[in-house]
Amino acid sequence: MVLPVLVLVAFSAIIPLMTVVNYSVQDTFGNNEFFWVGTEWFQELLTSERFHNALQRTLLFSGLVLLIEIPLGIFIALAMPKRGIGVSICLVLMALPLLIPWNVVGTIWQVFGRVDIGLLGHGLAELGIDYNYTQDTFDAWLTLIVMDVWHWTSLVVLLCYSGLVAIPEVYYQAARIDGASRWAVFRYIQLPKIKRVLLIAVLLRFMDSFMIYTEPFVVTGGGPGNATTFLSIDLVQMAVGQFDLGPAAAMSLVYFLIILLVCWVFYTIMTSYDNDEIG
């Protein structure tokens, strides 16, 4: 019974990954000739300032995205109606951004924010606000963050909403009998009950935002300068632009390990309170 799974995982994950591992320890000068270099690429990568900067940018981006989207998503889910026609309307509205292809999202915001023809960019300019995402680092970041919040908060909302509607009515009744405040209801009933779906939301939003490529590539192209060059953009430049297969392979592996590590940390923290005793 295990064999089909193993075969599937081998083809979809292990074999491609081993190819990358293979590249990461060799160098090539073309002609399909490879030389063994050991851990040289890894050492170079981990001491490279370019990598550190890109890593910091990506971590900052993911951090900001999580800090905004998770509380905002919970808040919207709490505010959504629980029954009636409003439910369907809200759900459809929420699902809309999720249905748009990523490069289209990038294009929408790229045009939207343009100072010459974009509604947002031009509007802000008319109001006398100096906004230009192609030249100003802060504006570029702001545009990307707002775009991601617009695109993905819905996912958090939908997950939290599904958790909230699954809470039996009797919990709210008991809370009213116990005289619990709105905050206490959230803190002791709603939050514990949606914790599991919230964990999924956090993991998905971390992974997706940490690997974000298409949208910043379309909107800012990694600029101005290297201001929005995240790990993914940097990696593509290295592998496709410069054709440095060895360093790019080493970077891919490190990239992958970082995502794995951070997900593990999130998972451990969020499930650690489950069955333990408290003093």
Partner 1 sequence: MASIKLHEIAHCYNAGKGAGVDYALKPLNQSWDNGGAYALLGPSGCGKTTLLNIISGLLRPSEGRVLFDEKDITDLTTEQRNIAQVFQFPVVYDTLSVAKNLAFPLQNRGLANDVIERRVAEVLQMLGMQAKANLKARGLNADDKQKISLGRGLVRTDVEAILFDEPLTVIDPHLKWQLRTELKKIHQQFQHTMIYVTHDQTEALTFADKVIVMYEGAIVQIGTPEELFEQPKHTFVGKFIGSPGMNVLPCELQGSDIVVNGNKVALGRPVSVSREDSKGLELGIRPEYVKLSADCGIPVDITGVEDVGKHIVVRSKFHNSDVNIILREGEGIPGNPGLIFEPSKINLYQNSYLVGTV
Would you tell me which residues interact with partner 1 (CB under 8 A)? Answer: 168, 170-171, 173-174, 176-181, 184, 188-189, 192-193, 273-279
Q: Which residues contact 153 (CB under 8 A, 6 or more apart)?
A: 68, 69, 72, 73, 76
Q: Which is nearer to partner 1, 52 or 176 (CB)?
A: 176
Q: Which is nearer to partner 1, 52 or 82 (CB)?
A: 82
> What is the closest distance, in whole angstroms, from the C-beta atom of residue 198 to partner 1 in the complex?
13
> What is the closest distance, in whole angstroms, from the C-beta atom of residue 272 to partner 1 in the complex?
12
> What is the closest distance, in whole angstroms, from the C-beta atom of residue 189 to partner 1 in the complex?
7
Q: Which is nearer to partner 1, 102 or 171 (CB)?
A: 171
Report the distance separating Cα 135 and Cα 146, nearest Å.
17
> What is the closest distance, in whole angstroms, from the C-beta atom of residue 181 to partner 1 in the complex?
7
Q: Which is nearer to partner 1, 45 or 164 (CB)?
A: 164
> What is the closest distance, in whole angstroms, from the C-beta atom of residue 183 to partner 1 in the complex?
11
Do the beta carbons of residue 70 and residue 154 sit within 8 Å?
Answer: no
Q: Which is nearer to partner 1, 101 or 179 (CB)?
A: 179
Q: Residue type at 270?
A: M
Encode the chain in three state secondary structure: CHHHHHHHHHHHHHHHHHHHHHHHCEEECCCCCEEECCCHHHHHHHHCHHHHHHHHHHHHHHHHHHHHHHHHHHHHHHHCCCCCHHHHHHHHHHHHHHHCCHHHHHHHHHHHCCCCCCHHHHHHHHCCCCCCCCCCHHHHHHHHHHHHHHHHHHHHHHHHHHHHHCCCHHHHHHHHHCCCCHHHHHHHHHHHHHHHHHHHHHHHHHHHHHCCCHHHHHHCCCCCCCCCCCHHHHHHHHHHHCCCHHHHHHHHHHHHHHHHHHHHHHHHHHHCCCCCCCC
Q: Which is nearer to partner 1, 54 or 197 (CB)?
A: 197
Q: Which is nearer to partner 1, 37 or 167 (CB)?
A: 167
> What is the closest distance, in whole angstroms, from the C-beta atom of residue 7 to partner 1 in the complex?
40
> What is the closest distance, in whole angstroms, from the C-beta atom of residue 271 to partner 1 in the complex?
13
